[in-house]
Amino acid sequence: MKKKTQMAAIAVILVATIGFVAFAMLDIFGNPYLSVDEVVENPNPYMGRTIQVKGAYLAGSLTMTIDNVTLVMEGDNHTITVLILGETPNLIDGQDIVAIGTLQSAYLIHATEILTSCPSKYEATTTPP
């Protein structure tokens, strides 16, 4: 009887552990993007980790020098600077973008990749003459 009790206890612990891990992963896979405001307001859980931050490209903030390329993403209440370590896509003012990279501080992410939404969404629609 003692062995059955031990096995039952082990089974309960395993099921609880698997359930906890599945619940934690649901949040990650349910919405893989963090907003600029979420990151700036609570950076500690993301510090030094690779994250995906979604925001709007701040018009005119793209800066290219010999050493680096930076841009600013804006949320509803905050902005974050993105140091781009990979290719820089063509950007349209106010376009939604996602920076994938490592959070260095509450206001700086080193991005290895910048994702943009479909440019046709931002192109002016014209009617034929």
Mean pLDDT for the stretch of residues 74-80: 95
What is the residue range of 9's domain? 1-30
Task: Verify that 45 and 64 share a domain, yes or no.
Answer: yes
Task: Verify that 42 and 100 share a domain, yes or no.
Answer: yes
* pTM value surpassing 0.85: no
Task: Verify that 67 and 101 share a domain, yes or no.
Answer: yes
Give first-to-last CA distance, the chain, whole Å: 87
Q: Where does residue 84 rank: exposed (0-12), middle (13-18), buried (19+ CB within 10 A)?
A: buried
- Residue 119: its pLDDT value, please? 53
Task: Verify that 52 and 5 share a domain, yes or no.
Answer: no
pLDDT tens for 25-56 read 555 454 588 999 999 999 998 898 889 999 99
**Strand pairing class (69-74; 50-57):** antiparallel
Task: Verify that 51 and 78 share a domain, yes or no.
Answer: yes
Domain total in the chain: 2
- Residue 23: its pLDDT value, please? 61
Residue % of the chain over a pLDDT of 90:
43
Residue 54, domain member (yes or no): yes
CATH of the domain at 42: 2.40.50.140
Task: Verify that 5 and 26 share a domain, yes or no.
Answer: yes
